[in-house]
Structures are given as C-alpha cells and as structure tokens.
Chains A and B, each alone.
Chain A
Amino acid sequence: MTTIPELGLRESATFDRATIADIQRAAATGVYDIRGWGAKRHVPHFDDLLFLGASMSRYPLEGYREKCDTDVVLGDRYAAEPLHLRIPVTIAGMSFGALSANAKEALGRGASEVGTSTTTGDGGMTPEERGQSKHLVYQYLPSRYGMNPDDLRQADAIEIVLGQGAKPGGGGMLLGQKITERVAGMRTLPVGIDQRSASRHPDWTGPDDLEIKIGELRELTDWKKPIYVKVGASRPYYDTALAVKSGADVVVLDGMQGGTAATQQVFIENVGIPTLAAIPQAVQALQELGMHRKVQLIVSGGIRTGADVAKAMALGADAVAIGTAALIALGDNDPRYSAEYAALGSAAGFYDDFQDGRDPAGITTQDPELAARLDPVEGGRRLANYLRVLTMEAQTIARACGKSHLHNLEPEDLVALTIESAAMARVPLAGTSWIPGAM
C-alpha cells in the first residue's frame, strides 16, 4: 500500500493511481487503451524459483575451467535441415512494420554474431533481415501479409503462428501512422490506413487441418525446413499435444508476459497464463507422448536474465526466445531519451506506446528520422553482448548444479519460494518436499 504519512494520505489498493488514470482516460476518449509491451501486472514468475547448487550430494563443475555446452538442435523430427544454434536463446518474432528496418537488421546482426536465430513477423521478410540473419525463422501468420513461397524456401525454418502470449485468441492491429509506403506495399494495403491482422488462419481450422497445412508447407520446401507451431499460453497441455499430433518439429510457447506491438491493455493483462504455469503443462504433454527432446520446446514471455534461461530449461524447455529484452538491449526505454519520453507523456522505463510510431529510441517506428537514430551495427553489437551475458549467466548456474550442458538442467535442481509458484512450476516449496497439487 502506498501512503504519504505526513499528509495522512492512503492510496487505494483497488483504485490505485494507474487505475484512476485509466478510468479518466476511458471517460475522456471513449476508446480502450491500445499499447505495446506485455503484461505489467505481477504474476508468479521465474523470480519465485531458486536453484539448489551442488554440495555434498552433487558435484559442481569448475566455473572457469570445465565446459558447459550451450548448443541446441531444433527441428530434427522431420526436417532434413534442422537448425543447429550455438546458444539456446533465440529472438522472437517481431514484424517489420511494428519495428523499423534498422531494428530488424540489428536483431539479425546481433543474433548471427552469437550463432542464434531471429524471426520475422507479420508483414513478411525484409532483405535487410534475411541478409543479416544467419538463421532466420519465417513466421506464417493468419494475415499472410507479404507471404510468398520464395521467402518460405529461403527461410531456415517456418513458424506457424496460432497466437502469442500477450493476446491468445487475438489478431493484430497496426495503426495507420505506421503504414508507410514501404510497409503498405509489403502488405498490399493503402498507405496510412489501419491494418488489421486476422486472429484465425484463412485456409485451415483446428488440428486436423493443421496437419494437412503442415504437410503442404513440407511439400513446398521439399521436407527440408523445420516447422514450428507457436501458441500463446492458455491451454498449453492440449495445444502442445495437438501440435505434436499435427506434425510440428518444434513447439513455441509464449506466456502472458510476452510482448506485443499493439494490443488492447485489457487483453494483455487479462487473457492467457503466466510463462511459469505454462511450461510444466507443455512438458507433461511432450513426456506423455514420448516426444520430450524429440519435438523441441521454445519458451518465451518474460525472459530477462541467464537465471530465467536456466530456469526455463530446467523446467524442460529446449530453448527460449526473447523479444522485449532484445528491444531493451537495442536501446528501448533508454534514459538518454528521458526528455522525449516526457514530451510523449511517458518516462524511460515506462514507455509502451509502440503502436504510435513515435518511439524516441527509433525502434518501434517507421519515421525515417527517428529510425535513423538506431545504428544497426551498434544495435547488433549491443544485442550480441546481451545474448552473451544471458548465456554466461545460465552456464554459471548450470555449472553450480553440476551440469556439463544447459540441457542437463532439470526440475530436481529447482525449488520454489511461494506456494503459488511451487504449484505452477511443479517443484517443491523451498525447505519442504511439498509440491502443491501433486498427486
């Protein structure tokens, strides 16, 4: 509870200042709030888990001597050309349109420097991104904006998107101010109009159809490319099982903290489940089908540190994906733009109006002057640095747990700090052997 004792003031927990501002804004405009970023509410997360380092009963590895490998192979179930990444931290799908061409290029440069993949988004593949991305995953979305078979063939993997964590069950909206001539041309739409992305695919419905759709994509690419299926976390046990049944090589699971470029706030904050709660359900489905580690699981939504990477992998993920954190590494919400954030009615650390196209950091914009602020080479270098730190942090923890590969981390290495996180992550409450809800 926030108080100002000297004035005798007490803020309502129910009607706090942000809530009051929301009501005032709704009353003034008659429109719901659309914004970027992911869920801002507090939910049980990786912070609520701790690792049990090695001691008498477990041998640690020497921190600066003994090898702890980090590579991952994605898509070897059916694809003739699976991805072999040096680190298990990938860059999540973000569109050219939502992001500037420079930002997309910077993501490609940073990811390629450390041997991981980046991902296209709604709006198709840009030459900048393909050219700078050693491993590029092509998102196959309901809108099919800019979709053409040549891009599918020149991608290194195909990700069929059913949903994302920020808005499971929702489509997309790119507001007119970001629909420049180039963006409009790629999407076959008039310049300057609001662009809606459908929430359902136009030519298939349900898992039986998806199996046939995956078959078509495999035929198109002569069975070479890994095919991912991405779902927003809502019913991950069933979605994972059905993705496996449909023939996916990889399942991508995005928790509710996963970011978005433009979604209704009410959607972001109230639909979907936390990443922490989603992972064990997906892993259970894979294990029951005998497909854990055969169909790889990529987890996204709130990954910030190497500890988060290690925890996701200990719970059973094969790799993780970052979006919001990658943008921050490029320069999003940098305090050096504080005056400009203030002019937009925001502040460094709070800016989430990615839909507006006026991003002072030049990342979530199509304005040429703003976009020019992001040097793709420098941005790529910063992202590569950040990815290296995530990897080294995860290795530090894995060695302490006695693991010679990040994949060897396991739920047994974890305990939970709260009853909620213990129940969701299905690991014991610290200091006990109690896993709430375990049969």
Chain B
Amino acid sequence: MVTLTADTSTVTDLSTSTVRELNQSLHSAADGQSWTIENPGGKHSLAVGIDADITVTLNGHAGYYAAGMHQKGDVTINGNAGVGLAENIMSGRVHVKGDASQSAAATGHGGLVVIDGNAGARCGISMKGVDIVVGGNIGHMSAFMAQAGRLVVCGDAGEALGDSIYEARIYVKGTVASLGADCIEKPMKPEHLDELAGLLAAAGRDDNPADFTRYGSARNLYHFHVGNSASY
C-alpha cells in the first residue's frame, strides 16, 4: 500500500506492497522526493538502483543487496542489513543504524556507506572508490583486493585485513587480528589525519583521528614475480 503523508513523504508498506512496486516507484522518482518504507521484513533487493536525489528511510531490517548499485540520494536503514549492502554504490549516501552482514559496500565505486554497528566478513571487498565508515567491528577478509576509496573502522578488524590490496586506504581504531598479503601498517601523516577527520565528520562521529592506525598496500605484488609465490 502506498500513502502520502502530510510532509509529502510517500509511505510504502511492504506488508501490502511488493518489492517490485516499491523499486518501480523509486525508479520513477523525481529529485527532492522522500520515501518511508514500513515493514521491510528482511526482504531482498530493497531500494536497488536509485538514480534520483531522493531520501529513503527503511524502518526495519533489510535483506540482501539493500540499496544495491545506489547512484544518488540518501538511504537510511533503521535496522540491520543483509549481505551486499549498497554493493557497487556509485555515489550518494547509505546509512545503516544497526549491523550489516558480509560484503557490505562490495565493489563500491563512490559515495559514502555508514554502518553504525558491526559489519561482517568481506566489508569493502574489491572497493573501487567508495568511502565506508563502520562504527563497530568488521569481519575477516575485509578490503580484499580493495582498489580505491577509504575504509574506516572504529572498532576492531578481523583476520586478513586488506589482502592483496591496491590503492585503497584503511584506518582502524582498534585491533587488527591479522593483515593479509601485501597489506602493511603505514604512517599517519597530517593529510591522513585531515582525511580521516573529514570521513568521521561525514559519518556523524566524534572519534579522535589520532587514535587510528593507517594500513595500505606495500605494492610488492603489483607485478607477478616468481619470488612472491609464497605470498599467495
């Protein structure tokens, strides 16, 4: 069921409307509009492919690929998100108030993904320019083959962080269980503190950038060489 509230926000109730109806209406949206989605019930592919500067609020939990391939506008999930949150996001902003499952912001090319809680394994896998700020911890193999963008972790990181990383930058406030192949700790220079302060501010957080450690690529595996075979 779709209703219009007094503040002209469109309300879609997924206990009576289908995911198809929701996404079709979001794909037809005009800049400046806003949507509220009630009773998402963990359904998959909610708010996929938004390409207008709109504001979408989900009140509840989302399944796989919430805000997948997001291109414009703001999506806020007042709940948890399943696998592949905002995967391949191009720009815009996606904010999860709860936790996110694995592969959050996978392959994202741009934009900002904020997860207030924890993120599962493979957070930021193959990220290509997206910025990710996680308030809690992240799981193993996060930022695997991360190419570009920034991953900020205010809690702890799991095993094999940044394995085979390219040019992405990782900031972790807590502990790192282990670093993956070719990922090393790097010095925090003033420009990194500035960059991190901007990311934390964009995510609405007040953590102190000086408490974080930076990680990135040693760039030893950029060219195949037989001498590196023990690294794979």
Q: Please measure, in the bound complex, the distance between the C-alpha atom of A173 and the C-alpha atom of B103, giving whole angstroms.
A: 23
In the complex, which residues of chain B have a beta carbon less than 8 angstroms from the beta carbon of A194? 222-224
Q: Is A90 an interface residue (CB 8 A)?
A: no
Q: How many A-B residue pairs have CB under 8 A?
A: 106
Q: B71, A203: Cβ atoms under 8 Å? A: no
Complex interface bits, A180-215 against B, C-beta within 8 A gives 1, otherwise 0: 000000011110011010100011100001001101
Q: Distance in Å from the Cβ of B159 to the closest Cβ of chain A? A: 17
Give the residues from 212 to 243 in chain A that come closer than 8 angstroms, CB to CB, to chain B.
Answer: 212-213, 215-216, 219-220, 222-223
Q: Is A304 an interface residue (CB 8 A)?
A: no
Q: Which of A173, A196, A203 has most B Cβ within 10 Å?
A: A203
Q: A149, B103: Cβ atoms under 8 Å? A: no
Residue from A144, A209, A223 within 8 A of B83 (CB atoms): A209
Q: Distance in Å from the Cβ of B217 to the closest Cβ of chain A? A: 10
Q: Is A143 an interface residue (CB 8 A)?
A: yes
Q: Is A57 an interface residue (CB 8 A)?
A: no
Partner-binding segment picked from B1-9, B62-70, B186-194, B205-213 = B62-70
Complex interface bits, B145-178 against A, C-beta within 8 A gives 1, otherwise 0: 1011000000000000000101100000000000
Give the residues from 178 to 232 in chain B that come closer than 8 angstroms, CB to CB, to chain A.
Answer: 222-224, 226
Give the residue name and chain of the B residue nearest to A214 (CB). B45
In the complex, which residues of chain A have a beta carbon less than 8 angstroms from the beta carbon of B84? 203-204, 216
Give the residue name and chain of the A residue nearest to B167 (CB). A190
Give the residues from 80 to 111 in chain B that come closer than 8 angstroms, CB to CB, to chain A.
Answer: 83-84, 87-88, 90, 103, 106-107, 109
Q: B226, A220: Cβ atoms under 8 Å? A: no
Residue from A31, A149, A216 within 8 A of B45 (CB atoms): A216
Complex interface bits, A156-199 against B, C-beta within 8 A gives 1, otherwise 0: 00000000000000000101100000000001111001101010
Q: Which of A143, A202, A212, A215 has most B Cβ within 10 Å?
A: A202
Q: A144, B88: Cβ atoms under 8 Å? A: yes
Q: A203, B224: Cβ atoms under 8 Å? A: no
Q: Please measure, in the bound complex, the distance between the C-alpha atom of A257 and the C-alpha atom of B148, giving whole angstroms.
A: 36
Give the residue name and chain of the B residue nearest to A153 (CB). B49
Question: A188-B147, A194-B222, A204-B83 in contact; A216/B68 too (CB < 8 A)?
Answer: yes
Q: Distance in Å from the Cβ of A138 to the closest Cβ of chain B? A: 13
Residue from B48, B122, B224, B226 within 8 A of A202 (CB atoms): B122
The total of chain B residues at the interface (CB under 8 A) is 41
Q: A222, B24: Cβ atoms under 8 Å? A: yes
Q: A173, B125: Cβ atoms under 8 Å? A: no
Give the residue name and chain of the A residue nearest to B129 (CB). A188
In the complex, which residues of chain B have a beta carbon less than 8 angstroms from the beta carbon of A204? 64, 83-84, 103
Residue from A187, A198, A203 within 8 A of B103 (CB atoms): A203
Q: Is A30 an interface residue (CB 8 A)?
A: yes
In the complex, which residues of chain A have a beta carbon less than 8 angstroms from the beta carbon of B226? 29-31
Q: Is A14 an interface residue (CB 8 A)?
A: no
Q: B125, A202: Cβ atoms under 8 Å? A: yes
Give the residues from 101 to 140 in chain A that come closer than 8 angstroms, CB to CB, to chain B.
Answer: none
Residue from B64, B128, B145 within 8 A of A216 (CB atoms): B64
Q: B122, A193: Cβ atoms under 8 Å? A: no
Question: A30-B226, A219-B19, A219-B49 in contact; A188/B148 too (CB < 8 A)?
Answer: yes
In the complex, which residues of chain B have a beta carbon less than 8 angstroms from the beta carbon of A143? 126
Q: Please measure, in the bound complex, the distance between the C-alpha atom of A220 and the C-alpha atom of B50, giving whole angstroms.
A: 9
In the complex, which residues of chain B have a beta carbon less than 8 angstroms from the beta carbon of A147? 88, 107, 109
Q: Is A148 an interface residue (CB 8 A)?
A: yes
Question: A149-B88, A202-B126 in contact; A220/B145 too (CB < 8 A)?
Answer: no
Known contacts A31-B226, A196-B145, then 7 further A-B pairs from the complex at CB < 8 Å, ordered by chain A residue? A150-B71, A175-B224, A188-B128, A202-B144, A212-B83, A220-B49, A223-B20
- List 15 contacting pairs A-B, 8 Å CB cutoff, sorted by A: A31-B226, A143-B126, A148-B109, A149-B51, A149-B69, A149-B71, A175-B224, A176-B222, A176-B223, A193-B166, A193-B222, A198-B145, A216-B48, A216-B64, A220-B68
Question: Which residues on B are within 8 Å of A, measured CB to CB?
Answer: 19-20, 23-24, 27, 44-45, 48-49, 51, 63-65, 68-69, 71, 83-84, 87-88, 90, 103, 106-107, 109, 122, 125-126, 128-129, 144-145, 147-148, 164, 166-167, 222-224, 226
By Cβ-Cβ distance, the 5 closest A-B pairs, closest first, are A203-B84, A144-B107, A220-B49, A203-B103, A193-B222
